[in-house]
A and B are shown apart, each in its own frame.
Chain A
Amino acid sequence: MKALVSVKRVVDYNVRIQVKSDGSGVVTDGVKFSVNPFDEIAMEEAVRLKEKGKVTEIIAVTIGGAKCEETLRTALAFGADRAVHVKEESEVQPLTAAQALAAVFKKEEAQLFLLGKQAIDDDANQTGQMVAALLDLPQATFASKVELEAGKATVTREVDAGLETLEIDLPAVITADLRLNEPRYLKLPDIMKAKKKPIAAFSLTDLGVTPGAGLKASKTAAPPKRSKGVVVKTVDELIAALKGKGLI
């Protein structure tokens, strides 16, 4: 069974984001980029499923500019067999991304699509669900456990109320939550091997995708700053301070 895994290049989760003073966006020059953490988890899950003999081939896919090749090389070092680079230099919104990813999934005749539950730059949390809708496939979002059997998957999902278990028929779309697994550390030999693995390139047009009218960002602002408060020395002082503000 073929598994497709999407990986997005995003600003590293440790970077303290700065908003540009003219409100046109956030500072990305000279900032560290990494693979979206949820996508690393999706990738790790695919590799584990392959190690268990449930998946036979893993294809990593990204949409973005030339620099995303790095992202694909990381996915290949994790254990993807080959990669697909959908080349697009301008920003791609979730519906457009989903249309492109759905086209790749169809073309590859894959059985399983693993994505991250959200990209930590746009925090949209949409793409996986949109891919599933466009392909009329079942979806299991926010997965914390995946078990594959013949023709179906049993997935535990992290929902507001607790843990929900669904059974879905394959082919299917699954989006990874944080506790699905802990991604492995990449070893040098794997990073070297990844350099030789093939990457196929397409444009959105090759995939038959024309971006529609998307959301237009008019202004980006920093959130209101919380001011540093006071440090109290004792529990009694804390209680007095909270009483003083009528909080207890």
Chain B
Amino acid sequence: MSKILIIGQQAEGKLSSSIAKVVSAAKLVGGDIEVAIFAKDGSGAAAEAAKLEGVTKVLQIDRAENDHGLAAIVAPQVVELAKKGYTHVFAPGTTFGKDLLPRVAAKLGAQQVSDVMAVLGPTSFDRPIYAGNAIVTVEAPAAPAVVATIRLASFQAVGSGGSAPVEKISVDVALPTHTRFVKLEAQKSERPELQSASRVVSGGRALGSSENFKVIYALADKLKAGVGASRAAVDSGYVPNDMQVGQTGKIIAPELYFAIGISGAIQHLAGIKDARTIVAINKDAEAPIFEVADFGLVGDLFTVVPELTSKL
């Protein structure tokens, strides 16, 4: 039977919402599902993880060094833990998981499966390649363990009606001092989080300035939507990097997505393939975004979007 170890990403004592989706993928593998929380004080995150349906046990590993979730520091502890009979090690496909898990896989001597989008069996998975323009089915060797990151847009979060036991454990390994956290500049926003929002409004290069982005924010606020952007909008400095949607930004799966003044490059589309409904507003009727949009409106965003916002 499978015994799955999930790395329970947390920040400031709170469990990342990505973990409920990783548990969902783990349930498709079946077997025991354990979530390990590496934190300075993981009680809060551990309690949240214990409630996730399908989790059989939560391991809480408190250590001052774990405070910022640095890969070089967490990895040796995961490796030590993973050797205790786990058949699978899963992490979310967030920047945290992507940074950490290959470090674990290399130490275990396992080839990692990145961005699992479907679980076909305990060792068989679908994953995207070429910015999602092809999907490959891979068989991973069962030994030493199956190590995989989970593509969040592909799985629904499990509910929180569970009550798994929480066990405090210590993992005795020496930790390196060669990596030191300096700071995190996080954007505080009242708007729904991009990766879990059911509606997202994104703006592109056409916005022309950060000042003009207010037309995007106004529409988003009316719709209670999260706000995203194309790479061009981020590179031009209109919005911060954490708003980028696409192959190298965030992969999202909202019910409703607005692409405004975005041409629809394949790298951008890679981030919105799972959106249920795509609306495109662009002044160029030939823009590639219209080939994937469920509803397209050809027009100048600076007149169309304010009109839409006022009529909603």
Contacts and interface: CB of A to CB of B under 8 A. Distances in A.
Given A120-B131, A158-B241, A242-B295, A141 B98 contact: yes
Interface in A121-172: 121-134, 136-139, 141-142, 144, 154, 157-169, 172
B184 A239 contact: no
Contacts of B273: 223, 226
Contact of B223 (A124, A229, A248): A248
Interface stretch (A1-9, A56-64, A72-80, A214-222): A214-222
Contacts of A93: 111
A236 interface: yes
Contact of A139 (B72, B112, B187): B72
A118 B179 contact: no
A26 interface: yes
Contact of B186 (A11, A161, A179): A161
Given A120-B130, A163-B184, A166-B70, A177 B307 contact: no
Contacts of B96: 159-160
Most B CB atoms within 10 A — which of A93, A126, A233? A126
Contacts of B115: 123
A238 interface: yes
A166 B182 CA distance: 5
Contacts of B28: none
Contacts of B290: 228, 231
A125 B102 contact: yes
Given A126-B114, A179-B241, A215-B113, A95 B139 contact: no
B295 A133 contact: no
Contacts, number: 244
A134 B70 CA distance: 17
Interface residues of B, number: 85
Given A130-B102, A236-B311, A242-B295, A223 B133 contact: yes
B295 A123 contact: no
Nearest to B138: A215
B107 interface: yes
A204 interface: no
Interface residues of A, number: 81
Contacts of A163: 184-185, 240-241
Given A162-B187, A228-B290, A122 B102 contact: no
A42 B70 CA distance: 22
Interface in B222-256: 223, 231, 234-235, 240-242, 247-248, 250, 255-256
Given A129-B99, A142-B95, A158-B241, A222 B111 contact: no
A125 B148 CA distance: 12
B134 interface: yes
Interface of A: 11, 13, 16-17, 19, 26, 93-95, 98, 117-118, 120-134, 136-139, 141-142, 144, 154, 157-169, 172, 177-179, 212-223, 226, 228-236, 238-239, 241-242, 245, 247-248
19 contacts: A26-B129, A95-B110, A122-B129, A123-B114, A126-B102, A130-B105, A133-B107, A139-B71, A141-B71, A141-B99, A158-B242, A164-B183, A166-B182, A214-B111, A222-B134, A228-B290, A229-B293, A232-B297, A238-B279
